[in-house]
Amino acid sequence: MTTALTLVRLRWALTWATLRKSVWQTVAYVLALIIAVATVVGTAMGAWFIGDSDHMAASGVLPADYGAFAFIRGFIVIFGAVITVATVFVQFMMFGDGSSMSPRKFALYGIPDRKLHLGLLLAGMCGLPAITGVLALMLWTLAYRRMGPAVIITSLISAVLAVFTIISLSKLLLSLLSTLITSKRGKATFYIVSVLGFVGLCQLPNIIVNSDALREATAAERGAGLRLFADVTAWTPFGAAFQLPFDAARADLPALAGHMLVLALTWAVCFAGCLWCLKYERETTGAASRTISIAGLGAFTRMPDSISGAISARLITYLKRDPRQALLFVMPLFFVVIFAVQAHGESLAIWSSLITTGWLLSIAESNGIAYDGRGFTMQVIAGVSGIQDRVGRVRVYASIALAYLTVLSIVLMIVTGDWTRSRGLMIALLFWSLGIAVALCGIGMAEVTSTILMYPVSSMDKPFSSPQGRAMAQGLFPFVYLIGTFVLLLPTGVVALILAVIGAIDTMFWLLIPISLLNGVGMLVLGAWLGGKLMDARMLSIVTTLDSFASLQH
């Protein structure tokens, strides 16, 4: 137990060291604390409100079909399962294992695998997200305050069990991924597929709610479907912990014991799986890997023979090999499909996906220097100016955005049939220009934020990992780009508002086409120029920051 407590203290020591070193990390952590407090308080208020509702005023043992509690029970079990699955996916997709607290970091210390993994589990339970989750779920007990002491006690215990289950599943999934998927191509493929799958799962409830089958179903059929799905979910590791208070409310001891057994088996399997991964990785470390020979200069032969051309060629080479950034060029297509499924034949809803596409294309470039890593140091040594660097990067991303959105617009015109109608063609051209404008504004914004709001990223070889103590920056800094992009599009928005106020938006919306394009080009030029000036002023500071980031990836 001493080893486990030492690892818990180490986790917080690393976090405090990071906060003392970086003002931005301190600001991000304070914001994370505010979000955590808001989550806990919001959960408590919602639980108190639900506890005051009529159907929660029952006392005594619930009937076998849960009676008036059937809906709230089904909702809580299903929602809890969704939260569990979503948290596990987000953990390995965005934050990873925390490379500073990875088991492989402790290989030299001779810590027994069981003690090491137990310590890492407890360290995970003592982090800010886990503490927030436990407190929020405990305060959810306020919703059950009129259901008797047995339900209250069971709910308090189930809060800890639910969070422990989430962490155990996350540890197992991360261990399996890092142990079994070792090739770069395999990691890249799995990374892209898993993220797209997660987005699809997130959109699935919305698709189901908007489906014709659900609309045509009667209230009784919907209720029966909800209960059946909740019954099945309650016997999985994802929903078992959320079912426990209702087992206590029905005084159903066999069901309570059965759901506890499901949780215990889940923990045992996760613990044994993580131990197996530690052993397997130790036995296979150093195995020979396949080498790949590349002939020719690749993209360098197709770019201008200039400094900015060399920057463009290097960026193209990185994009072709980097799964972390390649995903962002696949994701917009996925959103187009989702928009099309939910459009129900309304072409305007499909065309709006072009704006989302332009918005997402440059999100990686908003932290582009961090993705380059120490390769940027050679650029500094060579004396490349900030303007030359920004021009080289803008050339690539602007070309990608123009080609991407143009091809996508042609495909959408064919799919929707708008090419056969003159007004449909004008609407298509409007959304194409808006998509281009958003993309260009995003690139301009990214050229600025990538020089001042840098945050560490996972290494190209380990896209599922993340530096310890930097999750706040990873979660908050991208929002500067996402929000700032639409702020830069404000001139176009003002013109659209004026047209709407004077009642001419239906007949003169075509004016937005040239205005939005000029808006995008202007912000692109401004962003490239300002980003170049900032890079020149912060060149040495950027190199120092990249060295710090690189040390977190080993």
DSSP category for residue 95: I
Q: Does 306 have pLDDT greater than 70?
A: yes
Mean pLDDT value across residues 501-517: 86
Mean pLDDT value across residues 493-514: 86
Q: Give pLDDT tens digits for 425-460.
A: 888 899 999 999 999 999 999 999 999 888 877 766
3-state secondary structure 347-414: HHHHHCHHHHHHHHCCCCHHHHHHHHCCHHHHHHHCCCCHHHHHHHHHHHHHHHHHHHHHHHHHHHHH
Q: What is residue 285's predicted lDDT score, i.e. its pLDDT?
A: 62
How would you classify residue 469: left for phi > 0, otherwise alpha for psi between -120 and 50, otherwise beta? Answer: left
Q: What is residue 86's predicted lDDT score, i.e. its pLDDT?
A: 84
Q: What is residue 59's predicted lDDT score, i.e. its pLDDT?
A: 61
Neighbours of 59 (CB within 10 A): 7
Specify which of 41-50, 86-95, 257-266 reaches the highest per-range mean pLDDT.
Answer: 257-266
Instruction: Give which of 97, 156, 175, 163 is closest to 129, Cα–Cα.
Output: 163
| C-alpha distance from residue 65 to each of 62, 73, 224 (Å) | 8, 10, 11
φ/ψ (deg, to 5) at 553:
-95, -5
Q: Does 320 have pLDDT greater than 90?
A: no
The residue type of 147 is M
Q: Which residue has the higher pLDDT, 127 or 550?
A: 127
| Of 65-69, 157-161, 354-358, minimum mean pLDDT range | 65-69
% of the chain exceeding 70 in pLDDT:
79
- The encoded tokens of residue 260 equal 């506890």
Please list, in sequence order, all residues whose beta carbon lies within 8 angstroms of the beta carbon of residue 228, skipping any fewer than 6 positions away.
none
Q: Give pLDDT tens digits for 460-480.
A: 666 655 555 455 566 677 888
Q: Would the CA dihedral through 286, 292, 293, 298 be positive or negative?
A: negative
Specify which of 31-45, 62-76, 342-356 reaches the highest per-range mean pLDDT.
Answer: 31-45
Task: Decide if 214 contacts 222 (C-beta within 8 A).
Answer: yes
Instruction: Give which of 516, 521, 522, 524 is closest to 499, Cα–Cα.
Output: 516
Q: Does 178 have pLDDT greater than 60?
A: yes
DSSP category for residue 303: S
Please list, in sequence order, all residues whose beta carbon lies within 8 angstroms of the beta carbon of residue 252, skipping any fewer than 6 positions away.
none
Instruction: Give which of 101, 83, 269 is closest to 173, Cα–Cα.
Output: 269
Instruction: Give which of 518, 548, 538, 360 is closest to 446, Cα–Cα.
Output: 360
Residue 112 pLDDT class (50, 70, 90 cuts): confident
Mean pLDDT value across residues 404-417: 87
Q: Which residue has the higher pLDDT, 256 or 219?
A: 256
Residue 101 pLDDT class (50, 70, 90 cuts): low
Tell me the CA end-to-end span of the chain in Å, nearest whole number.
Answer: 28
Q: Does 253 have pLDDT greater than 70?
A: yes
pTM of the model: 0.66
Helix (H) or strand (E) holding 457: none
Q: Does 99 have pLDDT greater than 80?
A: no
Q: Does 551 have pLDDT greater than 70?
A: no
Mean pLDDT value across residues 536-551: 84
Q: What is residue 288's predicted lDDT score, i.e. its pLDDT?
A: 44
212 burial level (CB within 10 Å; 0-12, 13-18, 19+) = exposed
Q: Give pLDDT tens digits for 218-241.
A: 667 767 777 888 889 999 999 999
Indicate the domain borders of the chain: 2-280, 304-551
Instruction: Give which of 265, 224, 207, 242 is closest to 85, Cα–Cα.
Output: 242
Across the chain, mean pLDDT equals 81
- The encoded tokens of residue 131 equal 């503490």
| C-alpha distance from residue 518 to each of 71, 238, 508, 522 (Å) | 53, 51, 17, 6
Q: Give pLDDT tens digits for 130-164.
A: 899 999 999 999 988 888 888 899 999 999 999 99
Indicate the angle between helix axes 149-180 and 113-125, nearest 10 degrees: 120
Residue 518 pLDDT class (50, 70, 90 cuts): very high
Half-sphere CA count of 428, side-chain side, radius 13 A? 22
| C-alpha distance from residue 375 to each of 295, 378, 455, 497, 544 (Å) | 21, 6, 16, 45, 13
- The encoded tokens of residue 334 equal 């996925």
234 burial level (CB within 10 Å; 0-12, 13-18, 19+) = buried
Q: Which residue has the higher pLDDT, 317 or 203?
A: 317
Question: What distance lies between CA 425 and its chain's CA centroid?
Answer: 35
Task: Decide if 532 contacts 389 (C-beta within 8 A).
Answer: yes
3-state secondary structure 249-301: HCCCHHHHHHHHHHHHHHHHHHHHHHHHHHHHHHHHCCCCCCCCCCCCCHHHH
Q: What is residue 535's predicted lDDT score, i.e. its pLDDT?
A: 92
Measured CA to CA, the distance from residue 425 to residue 417 in angstroms comes to 9
Q: What is residue 154's predicted lDDT score, i.e. its pLDDT?
A: 92
Q: Does 76 have pLDDT greater than 50?
A: yes
Residue 393 pLDDT class (50, 70, 90 cuts): very high
> 35-48 burial, b for 16+ CB within 10 Å, e for fewer?
ebeebbeebbeebe
| C-alpha distance from residue 479 to each of 39, 276, 323, 366 (Å) | 19, 39, 21, 10
Task: Decide if 40 contacts 139 (C-beta within 8 A).
Answer: yes
Q: Which residue has the higher pLDDT, 479 or 107?
A: 479
Q: What is residue 378's predicted lDDT score, i.e. its pLDDT?
A: 85
The stretches of 22-69 forming alpha helices (DSSP H) are 23-52
The torsion angle over the Cα atoms of residues 514, 517, 519 and 521, rounded to 10 degrees, is -140
